[in-house]
Amino acid sequence: MRTPFIAGNWKMNLDGAECAAFCAGLRDVAAEAEGVRLGVFPPFVYLGAVVEALAGTDVVVGAQTARPEASGAFTGEVAMRQVKDVGATHVILGHSERRHVFGETDADVRARLDVALELGLDVILCVGETLEERHTGRTEQVVTRQFEQALSNIDDAAVAERITVAYEPVWAIGTGETATPEQAQDVHAQLRALADRHFGGDVSSRLVIQYGGSVKPDNVATLLACPDVDGALVGGASLKLESFETLARLGVGGAA
Ligand code: 13P
């Protein structure tokens, strides 16, 4: 049984007052939300404050990225250890904006994932193809490579319990062009088959696979109705409490 997981990736949005107001409202939403897991991923400067503002709730709070080194001369960067230190429990790794805007490679993602697991941070691992890769028939090849480079030889229990995979087609992020439920299901099924091949049926049946890319209140239900879509990683539509609340409500019952 997989619990649907609706997570808001706030990217470089919201200020301190907006984060505080969102969290105050989210406490009420979370108290009512049964059968769905909720999470928010604020900008680094608000991470500690959001952890505190949501203390005592079941809402997951995490970072949008982090570096694997424990400390050092990395001006402007934040270490995984520091994310853990402020009380966050999760980190997003391999987001397409980190891969394509900041040049993070599969090897970088793997190095970060190893450290996250070692430190006790759970991970949302993002995979997804560009439009050009889709148009040239390479979607399966790309997501397979990203999945395998990040997860091969990772402990079975960690994959089942501490890793969420988010399929985020790059062409659907922030564009308003959502993957159709068929397109999403197709790739999600490939990812679950991959998990089955590497880790066996027990792990693959427990692995939560989110879809991300222009998820909105009006399309989330059809996406979540797909058998292998277990939640959503949401950018734009996660920034307003009202919309996030609707996604949370529609997320209930969205996983197999
Ligand atoms: P949008 O929901 O704004 O398309 O962003 C998706 C995303 O990148 C979530 O990580």
**Residue 28, helix vs strand vs coil:** helix
Residues with CB under 6 A from ligand 1: 9, 95, 168, 173-174, 212-215, 233-237
CA distance 91 to 71: 17
31 C-alpha vs ligand 1 centroid, how far in Å? 25
Question: For residue 186, is it within any domain?
Answer: yes
Extended beta strands in the chain, E state: 5-9, 37-41, 60-63, 90-93, 122-127, 163-167, 208-212, 231-234
Question: For residue 245, is it within any domain?
Answer: yes
Q: Which residue has the tokens 């879809």?
A: 211
Question: For residue 143, is it within any domain?
Answer: yes
Based on the residue annotation, tell me whether 90 is a catalytic residue of this protein.
Answer: no
Per the confidence metrics, is the pTM higher than 0.95? yes
200 C-alpha vs ligand 1 centroid, how far in Å? 30
Question: For residue 44, is it within any domain?
Answer: yes
Provide the domain count of the chain: 1
Tell me what pLDDT residue 256 has: 65
pLDDT digits (tens, 9 = 90+) for 100-122: 999 999 999 999 999 999 999 99
Question: For residue 256, is it within any domain?
Answer: no
pLDDT digits (tens, 9 = 90+) for 191-242: 999 999 999 999 999 999 999 999 999 999 999 999 999 999 999 999 999 9
Mean pLDDT of the chain: 96
Testing ligand 1's pocket by substitution, the residue of 211, 233, 244 carrying the most ligand atoms inside 8 A of its CB is 233
Q: Which residues pair with 40 in a beta bridge?
A: 8, 61
CATH number of domain containing 245: 3.20.20.70
Tell me what pLDDT residue 194 has: 98
Domain of 242 in residue numbering reads as 5-251
Q: Please tell me which residue in 97, 133, 168, 245 is annotated as part of the active site.
A: 168
173 C-alpha vs ligand 1 centroid, how far in Å? 5
CA-closest residue to ligand 1 atom 1: 235
